[in-house]
């Protein structure tokens, strides 16, 4: 028999509430509501790579297979089949288990992930035994080693997690990967009652990679592509672990090859943890964007403990001031939110000026304490479907003060208000980078790292700037139009007049935006739900030496048209970089050039 097969649930994944793909986080959540400037993107599943890279046996990982792809692989005969699911995919997970039992009765089924622990909480032991042989409710790498009878104490390492990508749908409907990812740690000690990760890892932080290992991945990623946009450091509350992130920051800052002019990361953190830090010190770790859960001001009086540290407004303003972008995350549906106070809550959130945003509804995920309490009170509907156990389905929770449809309406209105108040997320990203540039340029004589960080903000602002004109022309109202003009003036004040090349791109983006508007009238973009591409990762053992890639990847359904399109885009990127070089050479005598020190080709991330 072959060794190990790992797979996500089979696709195509069901579209969710807004008719969006749960994998396209930019479109579904982070930049939703920004009209033609809502971004699109894709993310990959990480669990299987962590397992595959840390076991001794060879394995194959199927990411987003169709039913027939999965069954074809199962028929090859594997000793172990590891499956992972989110709650909203549990129905598919159950079907897959049944299919494996029927077609490959000798294969042992190992389940893991949040959906699997949801299943565990809602099925009898007998039912579970019929579906699987093992169910992992903890860190999965050590668990899988244990299942295989391997040494569980060996140190862990991973690299080359597939890159996430984002763009604008009008520029690239299939964004190329531009964000490398690493899992620093799993879990969180804070034990919030609605949170799945804290429950999964028993309120502990499980360290997966040391700061040195994370740093090595940064180096590898930037060596492969010096125009790498951002690095995603996956952890639950990065700034809680002061020593860890201080050490990572030191390594990134003191790096002489790239340093803070290039290295930067996206992370998640809480207001409480960030309150221990000065915002400048946070920027000096290389943090460029932070995902922040925004607790309701009414939460403290309703069983969620008083907030400690700074208030949200102080944190968001402080971060933006030093060039750290934010993804503000707000939830609706708590018992303490009423029709009267929820509007105040939402307006408070909008006032924070989040750079990116996530508005979701409260969902009791089994087996979190919130779910258990609600189940015991009879507040989970019996007819709840697994596909509704998600950020948008509400998990069958009977709401205290709002109608079901009201919750959806509040979320949609929130997204719309954010756009109509602040303009598109890309404009906000540009603005925050200009603030960071101004801050660190003013102080650059004090610290050489400040100068590096200023270069980072300059690079980002330079590449976002050409989209600004289109966001001004197609702004949702005159107030936002004026804000776009203010951002333009700020750019020119700080960085000088745009170059000829930027003006050329600006015209191109504006034309393309006009066309996108027309296209949207004829066929609203909301109709286009992304379908994830099936990928097959092959892990042979022994693995190649780091920094070589530990897997080979196949795209079984990739069409010739898609490959040609990818090739054409790469050629366009090269051609535009050539034009950029020529225009730089022609305009080289200009003193206040915004592209001074910026490597050519940084605009390319959107193509």
Cβ 310 vs Cβ 378: under 8 Å: no
Q: How many CB atoms lie within 10 A of CB 365?
A: 23
Least distance (Å) between residue 29 CB and ligand SF4: 16
Cis peptide preceding 494, ω within 30 of 0: no
Least distance (Å) between residue 393 CB and ligand SF4: 19
CA-wise closest residue to 173 among 531, 416, 487, 439: 531
Contacts with ligand B12, residue ranges (CB under 6 A): 13, 16, 22-23, 25, 43, 45-47, 50, 82-84, 86-89, 110-114, 136, 139-141, 143-144, 183, 186, 195-197, 200, 234, 236, 365, 390-392
Q: How many CB atoms lie within 10 A of CB 590?
A: 15
User: Can you tell me the distance from the alpha carbon of 312 to that of 325, in angstroms, rounded to the nearest whole number?
Assistant: 14
Beta carbon nearer to ligand SF4, 108 or 204: 204
Choose among ligand B12, ligand SF4, none what residue 270 binds, the Cβ cut-off being 5 to 8 Å by kind: ligand SF4
Least distance (Å) between residue 406 CB and ligand B12: 19
Least distance (Å) between residue 293 CB and ligand SF4: 6
Least distance (Å) between residue 497 CB and ligand B12: 39
Beta carbon nearer to ligand SF4, 204 or 566: 204
User: Can you tell me the distance from the alpha carbon of 135 to that of 144, in angstroms, rounded to the nearest whole number?
Assistant: 10
Beta carbon nearer to ligand B12, 193 or 317: 193
Choose among ligand B12, ligand SF4, none what residue 228 binds, the Cβ cut-off being 5 to 8 Å by kind: none
Least distance (Å) between residue 231 CB and ligand B12: 14
Q: Which residues are registered as beta bridge partners of 358?
A: 329
Sign (positive or negative) of CA dihedral 279, 282, 284, 286? negative
Choose among ligand B12, ligand SF4, none what residue 47 binds, the Cβ cut-off being 5 to 8 Å by kind: ligand B12
Q: Which residues have C-beta within 8 Å of that of residue 568, sequence separation ≥ 6?
A: none
Choose among ligand SF4, ligand B12, none what residue 136 binds, the Cβ cut-off being 5 to 8 Å by kind: ligand B12
DSSP string, 510-564: HHHHHHHHHHHHHS-GGG----PPPEEEEE-SSPPPTTS-S-EEE-TT--HHHHH
Choose among ligand B12, ligand SF4, none what residue 82 binds, the Cβ cut-off being 5 to 8 Å by kind: ligand B12
Contacts with ligand SF4, residue ranges (CB under 6 A): 188, 190-192, 195, 197-198, 236-237, 270, 293
Beta carbon nearer to ligand B12, 113 or 261: 113
Angle at 163 between CA 21 and CA 80, to 5 degrees: 80
Beta carbon nearer to ligand SF4, 135 or 268: 268
3-state SS string over 233-298? EECCCHHHCHHHHHHHHHHHHHCCCCHHHCCCEEEEECHHHHCCCCHHHHHCCCEEEEEEECCCCC
Least distance (Å) between residue 492 CB and ligand B12: 36
Choose among ligand SF4, ligand B12, none what residue 601 binds, the Cβ cut-off being 5 to 8 Å by kind: none
Beta carbon nearer to ligand SF4, 136 or 195: 195
């Amino acid at each position: 028999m072959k060794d190990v097969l790992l797979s996500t649930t089979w696709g195509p994944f069901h579209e969710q509430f807004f008719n969006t793909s749960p994998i396209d986080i930019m479109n579904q959540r982070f930049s939703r509501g920004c009209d033609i400037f809502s971004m699109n993107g894709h993310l990959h599943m990480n669990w299987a790579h962590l397992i595959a890279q840390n076991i001794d046996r060879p394995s194959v990982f199927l990411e987003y297979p169709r039913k027939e792809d999965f069954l074809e692989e199962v028929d090859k005969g594997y000793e172990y089949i590891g499956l992972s699911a989110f709650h909203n995919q549990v129905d598919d997970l159950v079907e897959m288990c049944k299919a494996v039992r029927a077609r490959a009765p000798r294969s042992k089924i190992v389940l893991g992930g949040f959906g699997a622990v949801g299943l565990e909480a809602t099925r009898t032991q007998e039912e579970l035994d019929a579906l699987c042989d093992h169910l992992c409710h903890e860190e999965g790498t050590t668990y899988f080693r244990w299942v295989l009878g391997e040494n569980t104490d060996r140190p862990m390492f991973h690299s080359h997690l597939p890159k996430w990508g984002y763009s604008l749908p009008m520029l690239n409907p299939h964004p190329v990967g531009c964000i490398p990812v690493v899992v620093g740690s799993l879990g969180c000690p804070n034990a919030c009652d609605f949170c799945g990760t804290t429950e999964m890892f028993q309120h502990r932080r499980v360290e997966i990679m040391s700061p040195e290992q994370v740093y090595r991945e940064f180096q590898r990623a930037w060596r492969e592509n010096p125009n790498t946009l951002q690095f995603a450091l996956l952890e639950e509350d990065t700034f809680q672990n002061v020593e860890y992130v201080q050490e990572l920051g030191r390594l990134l800052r003191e790096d002489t090859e790239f340093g803070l002019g290039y290295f930067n990361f996206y992370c998640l953190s809480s207001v409480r943890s960030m309150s221990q830090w000065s915002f400048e010190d946070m920027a000096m770790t290389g943090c460029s964007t932070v995902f922040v859960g925004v607790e309701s001001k009414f939460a403290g009086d309703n069983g969620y403990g008083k907030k400690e540290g700074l208030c949200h407004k102080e944190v968001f303003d402080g971060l933006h001031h030093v060039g750290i972008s934010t993804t503000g995350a707000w939830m609706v549906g708590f018992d303490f939110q009423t029709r009267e106070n929820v509007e105040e809550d939402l307006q408070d959130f909008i006032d924070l000026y989040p750079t990116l945003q996530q508005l979701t509804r409260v969902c009791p995920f089994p087996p979190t304490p919130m779910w258990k309490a609600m189940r015991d009170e009879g507040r989970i509907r019996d007819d709840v479907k697994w596909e509704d156990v998600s950020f948008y389905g509400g998990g069958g929770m009977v709401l205290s003060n709002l109608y079901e449809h009201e919750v959806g309406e509040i979320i949609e209105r929130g997204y719309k208000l954010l756009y109509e108040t602040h303009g598109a997320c890309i404009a906000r990203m540009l603005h925050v980078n200009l603030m960071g540039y101004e801050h660190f340029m003013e102080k650059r004589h004090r610290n050489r790292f400040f100068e590096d960080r200023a270069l980072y903000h300059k690079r980002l602002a330079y590449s976002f700037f050409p989209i600004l004109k289109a966001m001004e022309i197609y702004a949702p109202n005159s107030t936002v139009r004026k804000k776009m003009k203010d951002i333009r003036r700020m750019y020119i004040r700080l960085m000088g007049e745009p170059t000829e090349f930027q003006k050329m791109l600006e015209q191109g983006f504006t034309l393309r935006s006009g066309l996108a508007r027309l296209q949207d009238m004829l066929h609203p973009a909301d109709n286009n739900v992304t379908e994830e591409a099936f990928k097959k990762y092959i892990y042979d053992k022994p693995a190649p030496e780091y920094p070589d890639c530990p897997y080979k990847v196949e795209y079984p359904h990739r069409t010739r048209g898609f490959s040609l399109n990818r090739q054409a885009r790469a050629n366009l990127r090269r051609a535009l970089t050539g034009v950029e070089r020529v225009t730089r050479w022609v305009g080289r005598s200009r003193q206040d050039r915004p592209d001074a020190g910026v490597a050519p080709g940084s605009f390319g991330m959107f193509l």
